[in-house]
Amino acid sequence: MTPYSRRFPEIGLRLHFVPRISRRRFIAAVESHASWASRLDKEQLRSEARKLGDEMRRAGFTDALAARCFALIREAADRTLGQRHFDVQLIGGWALLHGLVAEMETGEGKTLTATLAAGAAALAGLPVHVITVNDYLASRDAALMAPIYQAIGLTVGVIVHGLDSDARRAAYAADVTYCSNKEVAFDYLRDRVVLGRGANRIQLELERVYAAHPRLDRLLQRGLFFGIVDEADSVLIDDARTPLILSGARPNGSWEQQICQTALSLASEMSLGRDFSIEGRDRSVVILPAGLEKLSALAKRIGGVWQRRRWREELLRQALTARHLFMRDKHYLVRGGRVQIIDEYAGRIMPDRSWERGLHQMIEVKEGCSPTKGVDALARISCQRFFRRYRWLAGMTGTAREVKRELWRVYGLATLRVPTHRPSKRRRLPNRIFGSQEEKWTAVVERVAELHASGRPILVGTRSLKASETLSGLLAANNLAHELLNARQDAEEARIIAKAGQKGRITVATNMAGRGTDIQLDAEALRLGGLHVIATELHDARRIDRQLFGRCGRQGDPGTCEAIVSLEDELVQVYLNGFWQMVGRCLIHRLVPLFPTGRERVLTLIFRMAQRSAERLHRRMRHDVLKFEEQLDSTLAFSGASD
């Protein structure tokens, strides 16, 4: 696959490499305009910003114009928020403006950095989308950064779940729009459905003459021009394993509920290992020959749709999947009589999202909920194809180095490492590995009690809602007062995070406290050594572990982190074969004659092997999704129906 090449004719730039830059020279150029910018009053600041926008529209984003623009934006930030961009943030803004992924350590102020590139591009007349991983961060960042944009004469919009079409249209009409990756992608698909196939510009313009509601007036977006992706590795890599499918409801009948109940009943009669097997790595169910024979015999007694071989096999497969692969309070929760999906990477509820091909209805019936209406796919697109539609794309993250080759190969995004503003004081303590879940939880509670006695604030990260509530119960049983943050407490997120850095605080959280979360420490917490982060389970990707550990030791503050895990964790059970699991158990019980240091080192290596196995699998899945989409696109293009 050749690297994706982006070209923006209005600016006249074409990027296949990281442009050379003298960091000191560019920073000095910005500094040289600082006194000029500081002398401008409120109206002059806006006037100069408009003039700069006109110049950039004609000449492009040259370093000279970018330096003047950054000086104006930095002055606006200083006046409105009392925050002045650091030198390293200027370099990060330059990287974004030139279509790169800026790799900045966690806590280095990526939200503020984005205002430099977003402000410059918007002044040049480009609609800018600042794309992040969830609605909470989109709303928070838009509210925090809006005064900067307004000071230079720009408008700010925000897209969150639940907005109607008029509100979305107004938000996209703003100069800078903050949104989550899923909201902006689904709005794009909605626009594609409105436009239909084969529509050209002349036809669409003519509609405005004779149609009461022309299609152009019903579009939500103005196009995909300049996209800045926050947490780029999460949005562009982690979320690229499954395509985005826009669905429309179809009439629902009682027969669907009856079919799901019958399928679940049949699934309960199937034996694991004899009638079906589970491919844990791929999260798929395989019906074995014995199971097919049993299904055929049972179907003869039922009749109806069960007489059709392909239908009955697919229904049974979905029922087995619902029963054995999707767990309550891990993959979903039941709230208000509805099954709501939990994002495995963000730990957040995904409202109005559903699993396809009847799986969602099967899970609803399993949980005793009234099944929602079935859906039919109206449009689909992969994450990779969607983001490659931006005329100009950039990104920022603290964890890009492991996936920088994939970012370049798939999106044509080169990565620029940005140094830290202050030296990091974060200390990673050795992993503590136990043989069972019970031993692990006991060790976690003991460690929390030990640190709590010293007064240090503690953040304990878990992978699932169920695990967070299990630990919460254990802490309560040991009289350790704490706050719990998971998908059930999403409305309390801002309040819980605001207090998590105070002396003596204990916070138990899912991945909701990972990316984008800024925990501010009070003076007492700083004096005692800062925040301590405990990971109770390692994730499929090392990058996600680094994001959790990145909640401590931010911007030169002190902080420590460690992982307390067990060989019964999902990572080891799913992604390592039985031989290495046996080796791990032997090491845990000291059945292998190794020195203690060698023992811990080998145990840690076993977990790293599991993570590498998971990363390889997920990389293959992303490649397969993109390959299928490209083949589908090629087929539709041949028939004249390409997107």
pLDDT of residue 565: 95
Q: Is 16's pLDDT higher than 60?
A: no
Q: What is d(CA 113, CA 109) in angstroms, rounded to the nearest whole number?
A: 6
Residue 12 has pLDDT above 50, yes or no: no
CA 314 – CA 340 distance, rounded (Å): 23
Cα–Cα distance, 344 to 352 (Å, whole number): 16
Token couple for 580: 């290495």
The neighbour count for residue 586, using CB atoms within 10 Å, is 13
Does the pLDDT of residue 312 top 90, yes or no? Answer: no
The pLDDT of residue 521: 93
Residue 1 pLDDT > 60: no
Average pLDDT over residues 67-92: 96
Tokens of residue 414, six digits: 């080169």
Q: Which amino acid is at 121?
A: A
Is pLDDT of 24 > 80?
yes
pLDDT value, residue 255: 56
Give the per-residue pLDDT at 6. 45
434-444 average pLDDT score: 94
Instruction: Label residue 375 by pLDDT band (50, 70, 90).
Output: low
Of 630, 574, 634, 632, give the one whose Cα is nearest residue 607: 574
- pLDDT at site 249: 63
Q: What is the pLDDT of residue 56?
A: 94
**374 falls in which pLDDT band (50, 70, 90)?**
low
Check residue 591 and give its pLDDT.
Answer: 60
What phi and psi values does residue 582 have, to the nearest 5 degrees? -65, -40
User: Between the CA of residue 314 and those of 6, 268, 423, 621, what are the distances in Å?
Assistant: 42, 15, 56, 22
Residue 250's pLDDT is what? 61
Determine the pLDDT at residue 430.
Answer: 92
In the predicted structure, residue 21 carries a pLDDT above the cut 60: no
Percent of the chain with pLDDT over 70: 91
Alpha carbon distance 74, 44 (integer Å): 15
Burial 152-177 (b: 16+ CB within 10 A, else e): bbbebbbbbbebeeeebbebbebbbb
548 in Cβ contact with 571 (< 8 Å): no
Contact status, residue 14 vs residue 5, Cβ threshold 8 Å? yes
CA dist 101 → 23, 161, 413, 542 (Å): 16, 27, 6, 19
| pLDDT value, residue 13 | 38
pLDDT, tens only, 607-619: 999 999 999 999 9
Bridging pattern class, strands 13-15 and 6-8: antiparallel
Question: Is residue 7 scored above 50 in pLDDT?
Answer: no
- b/e 482-519 (16+ beta carbons within 10 angstroms → b): bbbbbbbbeeebeebbeebbebbbbbbbbbbbbbbbeb
pLDDT at residue 64, rounded to an integer: 93
- d(CA 342, CA 340) in angstroms, rounded, equals 7
Q: Tens digit of pLDDT for each residue in 525-553?
A: 999 999 999 999 999 889 989 989 999 99
Q: Does the pLDDT at position 600 exceed 90?
A: no
For 572, counting Cβ atoms within 10 Å of its Cβ (0-12 exposed, 13-18 middle, 19+ buried), the class is buried
pLDDT of residue 20: 52
Segment 479-502, tens digit of pLDDT: 999 999 988 877 788 788 889 999
Domains of the chain, each with CATH number or no CATH: 22-245+382-417 (3.40.50.300), 256-373 (3.90.1440.10), 425-566 (3.40.50.300)
Name the residue with tokens 């692990």: 440
Cβ neighbours of residue 202 closer than 8 Å, sequence gap 6 or more: none
| pLDDT of residue 637 exceeding 80 | no
Neighbours of 631 (CB within 10 A): 10
Q: What is the mean pLDDT of residues 257-278?
A: 88
How large is the average pLDDT for residues 415-440? 93
The secondary structure of residue 274, as a DSSP letter, is: T
What average pLDDT does this structure show over 309-327?
A: 89
pLDDT tens-place string over residues 449-486: 999 999 999 999 998 889 999 999 999 999 999 999 98
Strands (E), 288-389: 332-335, 338-342, 349-350, 375-381
- Taking CA 45 as the corner, what is the angle to CA 44 and CA 46, rounded to the nearest 5 degrees? 90
pLDDT tens for each residue of 500-519: 999 999 999 988 776 777 88
Chain centroid offset of residue 578 CA: 32
- pLDDT (tens digit per residue) in 103-113: 999 889 999 99
- Give the pLDDT of residue 2: 36
Distance CA 466, CA 327 (A): 10
**Phi-psi sector, 320: left (phi>0), alpha (psi -120 to 50), beta:** alpha
The dihedral of CA 91, 93, 98, 102: what is its sign?
positive
- 133-162, pLDDT tens digit by residue? 989 899 999 999 999 999 999 999 999 988
Q: What are the C-alpha distances in Å from 462 to residues 434, 466, 471, 512? A: 16, 9, 9, 10
State yes or no: pLDDT of 19 exceeds 70. no
Q: For residue 355, which of 367, 366, 339 has the smallest C-alpha distance?
A: 339
Q: Dihedral through CA 469, CA 475, CA 477, CA 479, nearest 10?
A: -140
